[in-house]
């Protein structure tokens, strides 16, 4: 497979039509900035790091891509693309070989088309991309592959756009090969409507790819799955689901309405209903939800039952544990086969610092138990309903931490009589 020496990605424009303080090429499409999509398509077709030409808010681009790129700066901003190309060529050290030149706001260009541009340019002066639609519309896109020595000569001439160099080369009988691709590959994002349109196209492609791998979507148009998400076969995705980051869903899961996962790993054969999970892990066979929030550094063990109305933060929950109703677990390590009664609360904050609790295996926490951290609950412990636990509980113990009930017979009648006299 032919390769170019490097690629120059033009990303200096301010993008005023986006009406944004953010650099245009850093706007998100299915979990990646639009420049990231372009870079993904060119990387395997170059031998050196791509060169990104920066102008407006260039630091945000550098912060995201870091050392994966070489950076050049267009001095006369706003300027034009020839100015940006000159800045990019100043960072090209080679005198021979080929260089890809591409706008940074063309996220739909494919790896296959980039390969064709490089292959077509070999043995000639340059290649350029022409995109076409079914109704015979054509679009000359800002995507080229030039022989480096030829491009250096071109840049000595004054021009306002790169296409002028193609015309000049052809007038000199120097071959420029046209490469054809579908219209959408040449689309440049200039405003929010373009962003929405490209996002919809990418989202359909992502969902279609997952379906080809054995994932079922009840309504693919209402499921938002970002590009780096992985989903196993025989998993069913219901409407109104959003998955982002490096989320991984196992096989045979059911992901019901209202779920949002970010950088979350879910094992095989899990049921997730109305769950918000960020930087969390859920092991095989768990039943989570509805109305559950899993905050960062939470790990749910195998075959657990979590929900309804439960929040868990920075905690591990052992296998086959039930946290079934109206419960908060924070900064804690909970064992296996634990049952938490309705309203259990782990009191982890003293107003200044967070403290951890540890709960052993086979523990039964009665309804409305409050564990005031730091506290350790041993194995095979029971707590009475309504207990406020402030001390460690040894294994095999029943802990009762509440005021003893006192029944005052006849009190109600006397109280009512007093109140009537006061009227």
What residues are labeled active site?
325
Tell me how far apart the alpha carbons of residues 32 and 335 are, in angstroms, rounded to a whole number: 38
3-class DSSP string for the chain? CCCECEEEEEECCCCHHHCCCCCHHHCEECCEEHHHHHHHHHHHHECCCCEEEECCCHHHHHHHHHHHCEEEECCCCCCCHHHHHHHHHCCCCCCCCEEEEEECCCCCCCHHHHHHHHHHHCCCCEEEEEEECCCCCEEEEEEEEEEHHHHHHHCCCCCCCCHHHHHHHHHCCCCEEEEEEEHHHHCCCCCHHHHHHHHHHHHHHHHHHHHHCCCEECCHHHEEECCCCEECCCCEECCCEEEECCCEECCCCEECCCCEEECCEECCCCEECCEEEECEEECCCCEECCCEEECCCEEECCCCEECCCEEEECCEECCCCEECCCEEEECEEECCCCEECCCCEEECECCCCECCEEECCCCEECCCCEEECCEEECCCCEECCCCEECCCECCCCEECCCCCCCCCCCHHHHHHHHHHHHC
If you search the block for the tokens 């009537």, which residue do you land on?
420
Give Rg (Cα) of the chain: 31
Q: Are strands 6-11 and 98-103 parallel, antiparallel or unpaired?
A: parallel
What is the phi-psi region of residue 239: left when phi exceeds 0, alpha when psi lies from -120 to 50, beta otherwise?
A: beta
């Amino acid at each position: 497979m032919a390769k170019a020496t490097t690629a120059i990605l033009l990303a200096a424009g301010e993008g005023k039509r986006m009406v944004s303080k953010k650099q245009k090429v850093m706007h998100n499409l299915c979990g990646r900035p639009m420049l990231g999509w372009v870079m993904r398509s060119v990387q395997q077709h170059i031998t050196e790091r791509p060169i990104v030409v920066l102008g407006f808010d260039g630091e945000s681009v550098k912060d995201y891509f870091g050392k994966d790129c070489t950076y050049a700066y267009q001095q006369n901003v706003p300027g034009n693309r020839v100015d940006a190309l000159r800045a990019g060529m100043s960072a090209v050290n080679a005198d021979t070989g080929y260089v890809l030149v591409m706008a940074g706001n063309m996220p739909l260009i494919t790896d296959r088309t980039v390969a064709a541009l490089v292959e077509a340019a070999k043995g000639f002066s340059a290649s350029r991309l022409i995109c076409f639609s079914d109704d015979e519309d054509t679009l000359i896109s800002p995507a080229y592959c030039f022989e480096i020595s030829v491009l250096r000569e071109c840049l000595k001439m004054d021009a306002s756009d790169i296409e002028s160099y193609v015309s000049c080369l052809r007038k000199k009988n120097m071959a420029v090969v046209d490469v054809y691709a579908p219209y959408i590959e040449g689309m440049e994002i200039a405003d929010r409507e373009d962003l929405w349109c490209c996002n919809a196209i990418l989202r359909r492609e992502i969902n279609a790819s997952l379906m080809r791998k054995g994932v079922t979507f009840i309504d693919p148009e209402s499921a938002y799955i970002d590009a780096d998400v992985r989903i196993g076969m025989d998993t069913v995705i219901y409407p109104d689901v959003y998955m982002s980051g490096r989320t991984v869903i196992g096989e045979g899961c059911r992901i019901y309405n209202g779920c949002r996962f970010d950088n979350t790993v879910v094992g095989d054969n899990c049921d997730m209903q109305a769950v918000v999970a960020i930087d969390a892990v859920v092991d095989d066979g768990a039943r989570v939800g509805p109305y559950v929030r899993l905050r960062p550094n939470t790990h749910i063990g195998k075959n657990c039952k979590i929900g309804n109305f439960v929040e868990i933060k920075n905690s591990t929950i052992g296998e086959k544990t039930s946290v079934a109703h109206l419960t908060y677990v924070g900064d804690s390590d909970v064992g296996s086969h634990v049952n938490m009664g309705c309203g259990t609360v782990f009191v982890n904050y003293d107003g200044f610092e967070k403290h951890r609790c540890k709960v052993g295996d086979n523990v039964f926490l009665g309804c409305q138990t409050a564990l005031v951290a730091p506290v350790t609950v041993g194995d095979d412990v029971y707590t009475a309903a309504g207990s406020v636990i402030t001390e460690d509980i040894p294994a095999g113990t029943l802990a009762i931490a509440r005021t003893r009930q006192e029944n005052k017979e006849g009190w109600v009648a006397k109280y009512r009589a007093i109140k009537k006299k006061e009227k």
